[in-house]
Amino acid sequence: MGNKSDIKVTVAMPAYNAAKYIQEAIESILSQDYEAFELLIMDDCSRDNTWKVLQRYKKHPRVRLFKNRKNLGVGRTRNKLVRLARGIYITPCDADDIMLSGNLKRLSNFLDGHKKYGAVYADMLVLETKRGRLLRPPYVVKINETFKWDLLQNLVNHPGSMIRKDLVIKVGGYDETVYSIDDWDLWLKLAEITKIKYLKGEIYYVWRRHPGALSCIGERRWQKECNMILVRAIKRRYGPTQPLKGFL
């Protein structure tokens, strides 16, 4: 693989109770047609055989394995991976998803050639499954963030995106207080200091949605976390105002 100076991209993968899917996720990354990358995986104190599965890759030259002593949650785990990253670009890949061919090469080439952009993302293929069966036909998530207001919804596909590491650090990284929407907070902060590019019509990532996924949380908790993130963003952008007390 060469030395650490050869690494341009760090694929950051937090893992929790992902034994059923994580090998497929890892293999999809290791088969990328790109050389200058490393794969960092951090097991967030899983209760299943995730760590045992990961031991198959402990000697792989592109893979670095870590394990939290206690469950820290996805935000804190992502931030630890960012701090450990050797690459100048970070691309997140969840432990139950699939990275399609061309992901690392296409996104890194874009950032190499467009210094004014801090992040880049593409469309995403979604598979909704339960007990191994599709709940509906696969569909594509395509959102162009430049044409909508990011305070209304999370407009950037986080899985499979690529972000400049120094900017992630500059904005304070991922939110460590929320359960599963830490990426929305990150995109709101990044949008305040850099440009984000959407690659319309290009698909490099498969997002697997299933009952055990972190994104599947209760409506009440999800709304509470959204409100907290939005209030902080509004205060950053427009300053504290009296009406915010009953705004959301």
Instruction: Residue 149: give its domain's CATH number.
Output: 3.90.550.10
- Per-residue pLDDT at 248: 52
The closest alpha carbon to 184, from 221, 224, 157, belongs to 157
DSSP-based three-state secondary structure for 67: strand
Q: In which residue are the tokens 């949605």 written?
A: 209
Q: Is the pLDDT of residue 63 over 50?
A: yes
Percent of the chain scored above 90 by pLDDT? Answer: 66
> Most confidently modeled of 75-89, 200-214, 222-236?
75-89
- Per-residue pLDDT at 147: 65
Percent of the chain scored above 70 by pLDDT? Answer: 90
How many C-beta neighbours within 10 Å does residue 67 have?
14
The Cα-based distances of 102 to 3, 13, 109 in angstroms read 23, 18, 11
How many C-beta neighbours within 10 Å does residue 120 have?
24
Q: Is the pLDDT of residue 136 over 60?
A: yes
Q: How far apart are CA 214 and CA 170, in angstroms?
A: 26
Q: Is the pLDDT of residue 102 over 70?
A: yes
How many C-beta neighbours within 10 Å does residue 111 have?
20
Q: How confident is the model at residue 180 (pLDDT cuts 50, 70, 90)?
A: confident
Q: Is the pLDDT of residue 218 over 90?
A: no
- Per-residue pLDDT at 42: 98
Cβ 113 vs Cβ 100: under 8 Å: no
Q: Is the pLDDT of residue 84 over 50?
A: yes
- Per-residue pLDDT at 199: 95
Q: How confident is the model at residue 192 (pLDDT cuts 50, 70, 90)?
A: very high
Query: Greater confidence, 105 or 232?
Result: 105
Mean pLDDT of 146-170: 87
Q: How confident is the model at residue 245 (pLDDT cuts 50, 70, 90)?
A: low
- Per-residue pLDDT at 126: 93
Q: Is the pLDDT of residue 146 over 60?
A: yes
Q: How far apart are CA 72 and CA 44, in angstroms?
A: 6
Q: How far apart are CA 157 and CA 200, in angstroms?
A: 12
What's the burial of 77, exposed, middle or buried (CB within 10 Å: 0-12/13-18/19+)? Answer: buried
φ, ψ at 80 (rounded to 5°): -65, -40
User: Which token pair is 39?
Assistant: 């794969």
Residues facing residue 43 across a β-bridge: 15, 67
What residues contact residue 103 under an 8 Å CB cut-off, 6+ apart? 32, 91, 160, 204, 205
- Split into its structural domains, the chain has a count of 1
Mean pLDDT of 133-150: 79
The closest alpha carbon to 157, from 187, 113, 134, 193, belongs to 187
Which structural domain range is residue 133 located in?
Answer: 4-246
Query: Greater confidence, 4 or 78?
Result: 78
φ, ψ at 220 (rounded to 5°): -65, -45
